[in-house]
Structure 1
Amino acid sequence: MSGQASKRFIERKVFYAGDRIFKEGEPGDRAYIVERGMVEIYKLIDGKEVVLGTINKGGIFGEMALIDNAPRMAAARSVQQTTLVVVTRDTFVSKLSKADPFMRGLVNIFVKNIRRMGQEIVKLKS
């Protein structure tokens, strides 16, 4: 490899309107960046789908499962034809390992707080 770092392949996936990207409770081994289109994040509460938010171009989702190895706390589906850049666990861990230890700790605290708030919302809606 004559001194040059090998180029990494960037995986992209296309989803059509209504396609499920992942289910709530699944293990998370990748995050996604919206390159084109829109994604809806939703949760089943008392048998009803509750939309928690939408992710547009440039947004990232699915990253929390990569940080804390917990199951997906919500589901994701495409609202329209959507192209996603796939961020694998290996890529994510590699990037995160280069971050300042304080920032890594802060990210972990944010994820714990967001998951706790999600559990509280479910309790309130029940």
Structure 2
Amino acid sequence: MAMITQQNVQLKQVSRGNYLMRNVLKYNMVFNEGSKGDAAYILTEGKIEISGTVEGRKKVFAILKPISIFGEMALFLEDGVRTATAIALEDSKVIVVTRDDLDEFMRKSPKVIASIITVLVGRLKSTTRKAMKVPSVGLGVVRILDLFSACGKLELKYDPTIKTLAETFVTTPDRIERYVRELADQDLLAVGRDVNDTRIIRIRERDMLAAVMQQQE
């Protein structure tokens, strides 16, 4: 395997917007398990291996091809510690997406980001289960609801939402419901019923993540 060096990694401006394109040579590391992370990545060219340590052994979670999003756990978890390692299996290109980038992109392209949310939630579910690690559940729930809010999706069906969040964070529905009740007590969301008498979660705070973080200060 080739040596992994900073000199092998190049950064350049993407032609549109303020996003950075990172060129990663074959066998070079994009990020390492346990390191601090503050960005996600969109693979546009090449192939990326996602792996982690499970019971003391390397476990390959996925082999990604374009177009794929990875490293998104850093945008959801409170401590931002990487739960997996990403290595290029061939010369690759990735777009670097920070939290600020994601928020800006959501404001400009709400229809596109709606489909990205589905990918992120699915990856959260898969990565968490395979790595057998439970992230910061409360903040993770807030972050996902915040993404839906940013897309203008302010009403969610209660039962499917609770079930999906419980599966995503490998926890019980009761625990998710407890977080939802706490958010309702803070008037950040409300639990009620729609015109069809279906139980729903109604997001009341457009910038829920910022509101929660401010309350914790």
TM-score by length of 2: 0.43
Number of the residue aligned with 2:192: none
Larger relative contact order (CA 8 Å, sep ≥ 6): 1
Number of the residue aligned with 2:186: none
CA contact (8 A) 2:54 2:131 kept: no
Number of the residue aligned with 2:65: 56
Of Structure 1 and Structure 2, the greater helix share is in 2
CA contact (8 A) 1:67 1:111 kept: no
SS of 2:129's equivalent? helix
2:89 aligned to 79, 86, 99, which one? Answer: 79
Kindly provide the amino acid, as one letter, of the partner of residue 93 in structure 2: T
Give the Cα separation in 1 of the matches to 2:69 and 2:120.
17
Is there any run of 5+ residues in structure 1 with no aligned partner, and where? 1-6, 122-126
TM-score by length of 1: 0.70
Give the Cα separation in 2 of the matches to 1:10 and 1:108.
19
SS of 1:68's equivalent? coil
Shift of 1:96: 5.0
CA contact (8 A) 2:46 2:66 kept: yes
CA contact (8 A) 1:68 1:111 kept: no
Is there any run of 5+ residues in structure 2 with no aligned partner, and where? 1-15, 134-217
CA contact (8 A) 1:12 1:86 kept: yes
Kindly provide the amino acid, as one letter, of the partner of residue 28 in structure 2: D
CA contact (8 A) 2:36 2:81 kept: yes
Give the Cα separation in 2 of the matches to 1:34 and 1:68.
21
Query: How many residues matched?
Result: 112
Shift of 1:49: 1.9
Identity of aligned residues (%): 27
Kindly provide the amino acid, as one letter, of the partner of residue 94 in structure 1: E
Root-mean-square deviation (CA, aligned residues, Å) is: 3.0
Kindly provide the amino acid, as one letter, of the partner of residue 60 in structure 2: V
Instruction: Tell whether 2:89 aligns with 1:89.
Output: no
CA contact (8 A) 1:15 1:82 kept: yes
